Homo-oligomer: A and B are copies of this chain.
Amino acid sequence: MSEGLLAGLRIIEGSAFVAAPLGGMTLAGLGADVIRFDDVNGGLDANRWPVTKDGTSIYWASLNKGKRSFAVDLRNPEGRELISALITAPGPDAGIFSTNLPARGWLAYETLAKNRGDLIALNILGARDGSAQVDYTVNSVTGFPMITGPVGHEGPVNQVLPAWDIATGYAAAVALLAAERHRSRTGRGQLVKIALQDVALAATAALGYLGEAEINGVDRPRYGNEVFGTFARDFSTKDGRSLMICVFTARQLDALAEAGGLAAQFKAIEEARKLDLHDEAHRWEARAELAAVIGPWVASLTLAEATDKLTKAGALWAPYKMPRELVAGDPLLTKNPMFSRVDQPGIGQLWSAASPFEFADAARLPAKPAPLLGQHTDEILADILGLSSAAIGKLHDKGVVKSPRA
């Protein structure tokens, strides 16, 4: 059985795309037994790009690491009954269901709860009213696409990173743990809902954008690669690489000055503009002058030289990288205990991430591969649902369930 901080906790997941699978993977990474059920032909996202040359989804494999897979014919009433039984199986650490599938009919909370009154069910929604919304449509109403991208660009710049999916994935794990805590104290299960759109709007409010619009009457304009309200932006090196330099604190300014021998030039800016560059609002005011000093210095160095100087001085910075550079021996992976080489069946050896959490009282579980579709069907039928080999064989014969090569 699994170990880890959440060992023993069991979550049944009916999921597709990013947020719901990531929520489950987050708990699986801490040792929970996360069982993903799918149709025998695979779910909506079974073949999502990127795929390997022979069509195996790298996407799916990357979002379902460390889970068990239970494959059932979802159109077959007998198959649906097996899933209902799995979701409502007894035990104080079971009876937890997480889904972003349409939670209607046989998957509705009311229906499932008939078989387990203290069921916890999390419905991950696009919009609160249940209408379809995805990361990209949710992002469009927040205003971020209209202020992302180069100064002078017309129209929206979409995020490539599905940031709201990622946030909602972690939020899903919060919801499940909070509901399980409540149940362990009160005996009461419940339906929990979280909408991608609400996560996005709540974060937009949390970051002060709604307040700025309402109180100051302004929408923030595009500032390109600059971070609003302080000094932080990208620079180019002599050898054509880009790096990001940030100054959020007085100490980081001093470190940057030391790295480049720029203290006198910073002082000249302060005197000419009557500003104190240790104050972040003042750095924002003087950002053009600061860039005019820092830019030529970075441009006179190779990335290796800049790395040496900035790191020695303790400046806050990072180079821009691409995934191929990361997987080709970058210390960010090779020296990071979160990463290890994992053999993903059907795909090959991969750099895979374990849980990003470090709990001192429980060793970090190693990164695990994603399951093959239906890989754990038989053991789940036997161990959790208590079916005999004969009964399991019959289900296979009728095509109600599936295992790899069965």
A211 is contacted by which of B58, B138, B180, B362 (Cβ under 8 Å)? B58
The answer to the question of A393 belonging to the interface, with a C-beta cut-off of 8 Å to chain B, is no
CA distance A252 to B133 in the complex (A): 11
Hey, what's the 0/1 contact readout for A115-149 against B, CB within 8 Å counting as 1?
00000000000001000111011111111111111
Which residues of B are found within 8 Å of A290, using beta-carbon distances? none
B353 touches A219 (CB 8 A): no
A281 is contacted by which of B49, B137, B252 (Cβ under 8 Å)? B49
Q: Which of A206, A234, A317, A337 has the most CB of B within 10 A?
A: A206
A327 in contact with B5 given A144-B161, A215-B350, A318-B140 (CB within 8 Å): no
CA distance A202 to B29 in the complex (A): 11
A336 is contacted by which of B65, B128, B209, B244 (Cβ under 8 Å)? B128
Which residues of B are found within 8 Å of A47, using beta-carbon distances? 281
Classify the interface of chain A: helix, strand, loop or mixed: mixed
The answer to the question of A312 belonging to the interface, with a C-beta cut-off of 8 Å to chain B, is no
A148 in contact with B145 given A50-B229, A207-B162 (CB within 8 Å): no
A170-213 at interface with B (beta carbon < 8 Å): 170-171, 173-175, 177-182, 184, 186, 188-195, 197-199, 201-213
Which residues of B are found within 8 Å of A18, using beta-carbon distances? 206-207
Hey, what's the 0/1 contact readout for A309-323 against B, CB within 8 Å counting as 1?
000001011111111
The answer to the question of A159 belonging to the interface, with a C-beta cut-off of 8 Å to chain B, is yes
Number of copies: 2
**Among A82-90, A150-158, A269-277, A394-402, the stretch in contact with B:** A150-158
A54-76 at interface with B (beta carbon < 8 Å): 57-59, 61-63, 65
The answer to the question of A351 belonging to the interface, with a C-beta cut-off of 8 Å to chain B, is yes
A359 to chain B, nearest CB (A): 5
Q: Which of A199, A205, A217 has the most CB of B within 10 A?
A: A205
Interface residues on A, range: 35 or more
A126 to chain B, nearest CB (A): 8
- Interface contacts beyond A44-B249, A58-B211: sample of 10 additional A-B pairs, CB < 8 Å, sorted by A: A50-B216, A140-B234, A148-B158, A158-B225, A160-B223, A173-B174, A191-B360, A209-B323, A210-B323, A212-B323
Hey, what's the 0/1 contact readout for A255-289 against B, CB within 8 Å counting as 1?
00000000000000000000000001100100000
Hey, what's the 0/1 contact readout for A31-66 against B, CB within 8 Å counting as 1?
000000000000010011111110001110111010
The answer to the question of A166 belonging to the interface, with a C-beta cut-off of 8 Å to chain B, is yes
B206 touches A356 (CB 8 A): no
B160 touches A148 (CB 8 A): yes
The answer to the question of A246 belonging to the interface, with a C-beta cut-off of 8 Å to chain B, is yes
Query: A17's closest neighbor in chain B, by CB?
Result: B248
A208 to chain B, nearest CB (A): 4
Query: A25's closest neighbor in chain B, by CB?
Result: B206
B362 touches A182 (CB 8 A): yes
A206 touches B63 (CB 8 A): yes
The answer to the question of A236 belonging to the interface, with a C-beta cut-off of 8 Å to chain B, is yes
The answer to the question of A20 belonging to the interface, with a C-beta cut-off of 8 Å to chain B, is no
